[in-house]
Amino acid sequence: MTQLGRVEFAAKGGLVNTDFIDNVGGVDCSDNEVNIKILLNSLVAGGDLTYKQRNELLERMEDEVGEIVLDNAYCQSESISVTQQQQVQLLKEQIRFIHHLEKEGKLDRALEYLPDDDTLAEREKSGLGLTRPELAVLVAYGKMVLKEDMVTDEIANDPYHARLLPAYFPQELHEKYRSQMDLHPLKHQLIATSLANQMSNEMGCNFVTRLQEETGSTIVEISSAYAVGREIFNFDQFFIQIRELDNVISAEVQYEMLYRCRRMLRRVTRWILRNRDRKLGIEQQITFYQPIVQKLRDNLESYLVTEEVQEHNDQANSMIQEGVPEALAHNIARLSSLYSAMDIAQIAKEMDRDIDFISRVYFVVGADLSLHWFLKQVHNQPVENHWQALARASFREDLDWQQRQLTSAVITTCPEGKVAEELIENWMDQHKAAIHRWDTVLAEFKVGTTHEFAKFSVALRELMLLNLNCRPTL
């Protein structure tokens, strides 16, 4: 079947990939075989193995190599499915990614039978996104470019990313010959390939280019921030748990949970890029943030106001009714609130106060000033172009920063041992006029469901003035 035939079949409801997606197992198996033999041949040359032992070892690893290859193919196909389920919602950023590849001279759209901009505009009006074969082309090009750009000393020599090298090989090899792997002539390429595959499969093919445009960060910086966020929130475990539900719950529910994880990890990665301590490496950042994230996960309901607890429970119950295990459903439902652990960790570092106290103040301030409600309005604001998408992301970022600053301001006025709710009530009484002005601005957002972008800018400026006017005088 030709690519155009595949696209037409998919447009009429057929489930089809491209040749290179369907044949990825054979290509990946060949790559694994070559790279394993390069390692084993170096061991034979160094006298660590005989040729007979090499061949016996290859035979013993055959099944495990097959499992590695199948897992890689599974995760790639899954990634396409997660993206495909969002349909037209992601079309604008996919068009942006196509333009990026074209400007870099990496993609010939006509050669790959990708639609032109006029055709894509018509699809958008009709509520249609890219077909699965078209998405497969973007995934292939995205991975190819990412792998090339990730072959750097900074990534290969980072102790955290270096873990991907032994993970590439079967268990018996990295148990017996871990030190020899560092001498593999393709070490940089193997680590780059593993990291690029992981990031693209979990986050979508345009994850890196999107964050480059939003933050101006380098590929090395984005890779590091992604690794930190993935580790401190245990996303690797969530992905495994969701995949274990194959043929237990509907694929659509699985894809939606995976997309929620993808969206959350992208937000965390962006936060780290904007706020990280540049002196800290990946492992040091994990050591700092992970205990705070875990503490919030264990005690979140005691920090949140009643309405937010109920909202999370309603979301979790909806997933439980679809067959999702209770613990996993609650973890996915609470991701949006757990994200606040990043800001809370920053406050704790600056103020050296108890995490329980900071967390309660943070969430109650957010509820009392309707900051969480306002964040939902930002989330729900539709975007029509790239610049509006950047503006919406900037609004979220500004709101996070303002809530962090307001929390710090409230805590600064607090004598030791005072209850969070009492403290906030006193603080709000002292600043009634400024808070009334903020409430007046918020009231404008309660009329209608969509708003001009300028309206959000004005509101955030008012929130900044509230923040400035309500900070304690030093």
- Cα–Cα distance for residue pair 406/471, rounded to 1 Å: 8
* pLDDT at residue 474 is higher than 60: no
* pLDDT at residue 472 is higher than 70: no
Residue range 200-218, pLDDT digits in tens: 999 999 999 999 999 999 9
Question: What's the average model confidence in pLDDT over 405-426?
Answer: 80
Residue type, 419: V
| More confidently predicted of 450 and 240 | 240
- Cα–Cα distance for residue pair 80/20, rounded to 1 Å: 13
Closest CA to 400 of 453, 354, 346, 449: 346
Residue type, 451: H
Other CB atoms closer than 10 Å to residue 283's CB: what's the count? Answer: 14
- CB 16 within 8 Å of CB 171: no
* pLDDT at residue 413 is higher than 90: no
Other CB atoms closer than 10 Å to residue 416's CB: what's the count? Answer: 7
Closest CA to 169 of 38, 44, 36, 58: 36
pLDDT of residue 417: 58
Instruction: Provide the residue ranges of all domains of the chain, joining segments of one domain with +.
Output: 1-205, 352-474
Q: Hey, is 340 helix, strand or coil?
A: coil
- Cα–Cα distance for residue pair 352/320, rounded to 1 Å: 39
Closest CA to 134 of 263, 11, 262, 254: 11
| Long-range CB contacts for residues 99-108, cutoff 8 Å, separation at least 24 | 100/206, 100/209, 101/141, 101/142, 101/145, 104/145, 106/141, 106/144, 106/145, 107/141
Classify residue 334 as exposed, middle or buried by CB count within 10 Å of its CB (0-12, 13-18, 19+).
Answer: buried
Closest CA to 93 of 226, 253, 211, 227: 211
Structure tokens at 58: 């290859």
- Cα–Cα distance for residue pair 108/11, rounded to 1 Å: 22
pLDDT of residue 468: 86
Question: What's the average model confidence in pLDDT over 414-440?
Answer: 83
Structure tokens at 81: 């499915």
- Cα–Cα distance for residue pair 261/184, rounded to 1 Å: 34
Residue count of the chain: 474
- Cα–Cα distance for residue pair 96/107, rounded to 1 Å: 13
- Cα–Cα distance for residue pair 260/266, rounded to 1 Å: 10
- Cα–Cα distance for residue pair 25/73, rounded to 1 Å: 6
- Cα–Cα distance for residue pair 205/134, rounded to 1 Å: 12
- Cα–Cα distance for residue pair 326/294, rounded to 1 Å: 18
pLDDT of residue 318: 96
- Cα–Cα distance for residue pair 300/418, rounded to 1 Å: 20
Percent of the chain surpassing pLDDT 90 = 77
Residue range 32-52, pLDDT digits in tens: 999 999 999 999 999 999 999
- Cα–Cα distance for residue pair 245/19, rounded to 1 Å: 28
Residue range 324-370, pLDDT digits in tens: 999 999 999 999 999 999 999 999 988 878 899 999 999 999 999 99
- Cα–Cα distance for residue pair 448/207, rounded to 1 Å: 32
- Cα–Cα distance for residue pair 410/176, rounded to 1 Å: 56
Question: What's the average model confidence in pLDDT over 367-389?
Answer: 88
